[in-house]
Amino acid sequence: MGRDDHRKTDQQVVLLSLECCEMPAVEYQRSTYDNRTGSPEPLNVFSLDFNHIFHTLIGSNMDVAKRIEEYLAGPDELRQSIAGMSAAEIDAAPIPGKWSTRQIICHIADFEPVYADRMKRVIAEEKPPLLGGDPDLFAAKLAYDQRDLEEEFQLMTAVRQHTARILKTLSPEQFQRTGIHSRDGELSLATLLDRITNHIPHHIRLIREKREAMNV
């Protein structure tokens, strides 16, 4: 697995983890940030309350309507980020040890229904179990090199439109409902929405990095 050369402080990695597809496991302390998958490595965070961190960062009076609109805008922003790239450039991996743009897009599409399911379960059930997922296993086993990017974008858009329609019916208090993640423990609906909303912007930054490396 490729590793980014940059080293983050523990605090920086905790903040970054709120923007990524999967939070770090909590068995032991390590602060390297994996820029290929967007997932930090494990940290020593037994004592941290991630829902408290979330509300400290963005405030208890989160503008839910604005956040939902940002969530809905993600697929179009991702599409714009690859405008003008050829198929060969999309398949290229110009930075050793990091995913291609195609792999990033397939990865994002894979985790859209995962997060939609998590959010629905938190809304409908009482503290439901939320299974984790391994992005590297998905990439290795789910035919990323054979998938059609237009289908991936259609999936992202459909899932977000469907889920946003449900989210718009909820009260602010309902965004404090929680589920129990198999690795990260208790997570609120607000936290889940924040993670998946910030997932695409995080990967757009990595796509820009690849474009710069290829001068495209």
- Reported as a pLDDT band with limits 50, 70 and 90, residue 63 is confident
- Give residue 25's pLDDT: 29
Instruction: Report pTM.
Output: 0.74
Domain that holds residue 75: 61-214
> Would you say residue 145 has pLDDT above 60?
yes
Instruction: Note whether residue 125 is domain-resident.
Output: yes
- Give residue 51's pLDDT: 52
- Give residue 165's pLDDT: 98
Q: For residue 99, give every residue at least 6 positions away whose Cβ sits within 8 Å of its Cβ, in sequence order, or none.
A: 36, 37, 93, 107, 139, 206
Instruction: Note whether residue 12 is domain-resident.
Output: no
Instruction: Note whether residue 187 is domain-resident.
Output: yes
pLDDT tens digits, 109-143:
999 999 999 999 999 999 999 999 999 999 999 99
Instruction: Note whether residue 90 is domain-resident.
Output: yes
The closest of 8, 70, 1, 83 to 37, measured between CA atoms, is 1
pLDDT tens digits, 184-212:
999 999 999 999 999 999 999 999 999 99
Instruction: Note whether residue 24 is domain-resident.
Output: no
* Average pLDDT score over residue span 87-109: 97
Instruction: Note whether residue 155 is domain-resident.
Output: yes
Instruction: Note whether residue 132 is domain-resident.
Output: yes
- Reported as a pLDDT band with limits 50, 70 and 90, residue 56 is very low
Indicate which CATH number applies to the domain containing 159. 1.20.120.450
The closest of 209, 206, 201 to 74, measured between CA atoms, is 201
Residue 64 one-letter amino acid: V
Taking CA atoms, 51 is separated from 11, 18, 81, 189, in Å, by 15, 10, 31, 10
Q: Are 189 and 177 in contact (CB under 8 A)?
A: yes
Q: For residue 124, give every residue at least 6 positions away whose Cβ sits within 8 Å of its Cβ, in sequence order, or none.
A: none
pLDDT tens digits, 85-96:
999 999 999 999
> Would you say residue 62 has pLDDT above 70?
no
Instruction: Note whether residue 53 is domain-resident.
Output: no
The structural domain count of the chain equals 1
pLDDT tens digits, 146-185:
999 999 999 999 999 999 999 999 999 999 999 999 999 9
